Amino acid sequence: MDYAKNPSDSSSPETQSTISGQGSKEQSPSDNDSSLRNLEKNPLESTEEVVTDVRKAKGVSTWKWVLTLITVYVTGALYGLDTTVAADVQGTVLEQFGEPEKLAWIGVGFPLGSVAVILSMGKAYGIFDVKWLFFATAVMFEVGSAICGAAPNMNALIIGRVIAGAGGAGIYLGGLNILSLLSSPRERPLYIAGTGVSWGVGTILGPIIGGAFAESSATWRWAFYINLVIFAVTCPVYIFAIPSLDPQPTLKLFQRLAAVDWLGTVLNAAIYAVWVLALTFGGAEWAWDDGRTIACFVTCGVLIILFGLQQRFKIFTTKAQRIFPAGFLESRSLVLQHFATACTTTTIFAPVYYIPLFFQFTRDDGAISAAVRLLPFICVTIFCIMFNGTLMPKFGYYQPWYIFGGIMITIGGALMFTVDSTTATSKVYGYSVILAIGTGVANQAAYSVTPVKVAMDPRFGPQMIPDAIGFINMAQIGAAVHALAISGTVFQNLAFQYLQSALAGYGYLDAQLHGAIAGTQSQLLAQATDAVRALALEAIVKAMSRVYILVIVAGGVLLISSLGMKTEKLFMEMSAGGA
């Protein structure tokens, strides 16, 4: 099919009248089965009417479809919420458990669990029934949340965060697959954009909910227990409303299990675990030239080589079953979509963690007040995601969105880099809005573009759409891990160096300086004179501003990537039938 021209030019009058609803007749069950087969063969050539027939063939009535959408979006919100909920409970957790050297793992543990399994999850959704895998990963997410809520010590909390992160990746990816399989190309961008909105809502509510529970009699534990309550409410929808979507119905269970690339899964998870270990402890607990830090980096490099060899030579797997879709690396378009998604995700996580922290240090905000300061950034990001999801499929061009996003992110990041302890609140809000515009207009675009590109490419085809979604999800979640780990390392190391320099003549111990970085309630900041406190805050905020170098780089890479994209028009089948 030629996607560069209007399908109405190549459609017969009979087809056009059927698409527009004129001259159609009531379909029999066999007609529905035929429509389903046609959709599975080439989903990009299907119309909304065919998709409606597929929903009917699957027993998805209007109310079931609405409940399915609500459940997918609620789980997306929970995934976003748990990504940032730790931001405002860390102080309370530290007071109860101690062990400040492990504090960073509460934040990074969740996305680490996600990225460790995202590739294998992407393949699994092409092997197992989407409905039941979606349900199973939701259960895993709840188990992790329960462990976090009941954690007796820091180690248990970290383990719970990693388990919840792995389950969260599954429910987020499952939701994207469900929406893709049960929606037409015309509907899909808006539905996919809805996942971005729900995730964004969860992201902003995360610090607020976490801070509210941390300051209440319910304690921080209910920041995690709340997930169990929501799951109990939505559980019937998982079981009764979402239809069975089995990509390979003829395979038996042992054949499905044998199709999983277990060795690749373990190697991929180990790469991220060792990498984050090196970044989290390097320069903070361990010196950069410490043998343990060096060993982590060397081990990570060796694991990357082993993973590459295992995937290249298909050791204990096959070309079709290996978890990394190596063939995608041959497509410039897919690689650039991957980079673009990673860049826009990076520009979300740095502000989400460091804007509230800025106001806690400079304005003495509490946990809830500091989280509310994120509203301009998150609200504008959500609006722009919806704006992109609505207009991009209407006009068909995707490259301009990325170009504009790269420019705005670079400008916004550069402005945030100039912020110091005396910068007016209105300026911080304004800079964050510029950053939000660039982030929002491009953040979810790849989820609409990539499935179309993959289905159109004869090297891949529609059967590779689940892999394509996993490929982009890997970029999104992997970027979250890298953004949190790198920004945390930059902030912790530079803040310590700047404090040492600023307070060199005051005789403070290293432990006191690290305590000041951990929060405004530290002994140093609480008991210092106004002059010393001003010096300390200036040093800490200066280190915080350096985090935005990562955002500036992300904006630049996004702009360069967008210039390498094709200036083409996709989604042309949306105009079929004169719609």
Is residue 33, in this structure, part of any structural domain at all?
A: no
Cβ atoms < 10 Å from Cβ of 46 = 23
Domain limit, last residue, from 277, 304, 322: 322
pLDDT of the residue at 25: 38
* Together in a domain, 306 and 162: no
Whether 489 shows a pLDDT value over 70: the answer reads: yes
The mean-pLDDT minimum among 38-47, 168-177, 526-535, 558-567 falls in 38-47
Give the CATH number, domain containing residue 124. Answer: 1.20.1250.20
In 3-state terms, what secondary structure has residue 139? helix
pTM of the model: 0.80
- Cβ neighbours of residue 149 closer than 8 Å, sequence gap 6 or more: 160, 221, 222, 224, 225, 228
* Together in a domain, 398 and 475: yes
Nearest in space to 196 (alpha carbons), one of 403, 480, 451, 387: 387
Is residue 308, in this structure, part of any structural domain at all?
A: yes
Percentage of the chain exceeding pLDDT 70 = 87
Whether 211 shows a pLDDT value over 90: the answer reads: no
Residue pair 46/34 in contact by the 8 Å Cβ criterion: no
Report for 190-204, 386-400, 466-480: range of highest mean pLDDT: 386-400
d(CA 462, CA 174): 17
Segments forming the whole domain that contains residue 309:
262-322
The mean-pLDDT minimum among 1-5, 255-259, 566-570 falls in 1-5
Q: 397 pairs with which residues across the strands?
A: 569
- Write down the H helix ranges in 364-509: 367-372, 375-395, 399-417, 425-440, 445-456, 465-502
State pLDDT tens for residues 73-121.
999 999 989 988 887 787 778 778 877 667 778 888 998 999 889 888 8
Kindly state the DSSP code that residue 28 receives in the 8-state scheme: P
* Together in a domain, 179 and 288: no
Report for 87-96, 172-181, 522-531, 539-548: range of highest mean pLDDT: 539-548
* Together in a domain, 312 and 456: no
pLDDT of the residue at 102: 76
Is residue 567, in this structure, part of any structural domain at all?
A: yes
Confidence band, pLDDT 50/70/90 cuts, at residue 402: very high
* Together in a domain, 310 and 353: no
d(CA 451, CA 439): 21
d(CA 498, CA 492): 10
Higher pLDDT, 575 or 227: 227
* Together in a domain, 284 and 367: no
Is residue 21, in this structure, part of any structural domain at all?
A: no
User: In this structure, what are the phi and psi dihedrals at residue 535, rounded to the nearest 5 degrees?
Assistant: -65, -45
For the segment 340-368, the average pLDDT, to the nearest whole number, is 88
* Together in a domain, 427 and 282: no
* Together in a domain, 225 and 100: yes
Confidence band, pLDDT 50/70/90 cuts, at residue 480: confident
* Together in a domain, 340 and 316: no
* Together in a domain, 231 and 282: no
Is residue 271, in this structure, part of any structural domain at all?
A: yes
Is residue 183, in this structure, part of any structural domain at all?
A: yes
Is residue 56, in this structure, part of any structural domain at all?
A: no
Whether 31 shows a pLDDT value over 60: the answer reads: no
Whether 4 shows a pLDDT value over 50: the answer reads: no
Furthest CA-CA distance within the chain: 87
And the tokens for 155?
């180690």
Tell me how many domains the chain contains: 3
Domain limit, last residue, from 240, 270, 297: 240
Is residue 256, in this structure, part of any structural domain at all?
A: no
Query: What beta strand segments (E) does 194-353 contain?
Result: none
Higher pLDDT, 16 or 173: 173
Domain limit, last residue, from 240, 270, 305: 240
pLDDT of the residue at 521: 59
For the segment 260-271, the average pLDDT, to the nearest whole number, is 93
pLDDT of the residue at 100: 67
* Together in a domain, 467 and 541: yes
* Together in a domain, 304 and 196: no
